Amino acid sequence: MIPAHTTETTMTQLSAALHRAADLAETHWTPDPTGPGICSLLGQAAHGDGARPDETDLWDAVVTHLNEEMTVGWEQQPGRTRADVAAMLRAAAA
């Protein structure tokens, strides 16, 4: 869930970046603590040039969507799949 105080342009940018992270999750995410997790995917999906949205903006949207649950605890629940992570990231973009 994208925070309500964001502008329409920012919401569009956040949504697009979260969708990029979801696409990455379908092929790169792993529940292994040493593998690429949600935070890594958000970093890859964020603008790397200092523009918004940055990794923190994306993380805030994801944690808001998860009702303040931290991403590591959520993604390491037994049985979590790449499809689950991708679906959650897409839902956070809504």
Task: Provide the pLDDT for residue 53.
Answer: 83
On whether residue 36 sits in a domain, the answer given is yes
On whether residue 19 sits in a domain, the answer given is yes
Task: Provide the pLDDT for residue 42.
Answer: 94
Phi, psi of 81 (to 5 degrees): -120, 170
Q: Is the pLDDT of residue 83 over 80?
A: yes
The boundaries of the domain holding residue 19 are 8-93
Q: Is the pLDDT of residue 22 over 80?
A: yes
Task: Provide the pLDDT for residue 54.
Answer: 85
On whether residue 43 sits in a domain, the answer given is yes
Coarse DSSP helix, strand, coil percentages of the chain, rounded to the nearest 5 percent = 60, 0, 40
Query: Longest Cα pair distance anywhere in the chain, in angstroms?
Result: 37
On whether residue 59 sits in a domain, the answer given is yes
86 to each of 8, 31, 49, 50, how far by Cα in Å?
23, 13, 25, 25
On whether residue 23 sits in a domain, the answer given is yes
Burial class (CB in 10 A: 0-12, 13-18, 19+), 40: middle
- Residue pointed to by tokens 């049985």: 79
Task: Provide the pLDDT for residue 11.
Answer: 79
Task: Provide the pLDDT for residue 38.
Answer: 96
- pLDDT tens digits, 26-64: 999 998 888 899 999 999 998 766 677 888 889 999 999
On whether residue 3 sits in a domain, the answer given is no
On whether residue 78 sits in a domain, the answer given is yes
Task: Provide the pLDDT for residue 82.
Answer: 97
Q: What's the predicted TM-score (pTM) here?
A: 0.85
* Contact predicate 6/18, CB 8 Å: no
Q: How many domains does the chain have?
A: 1
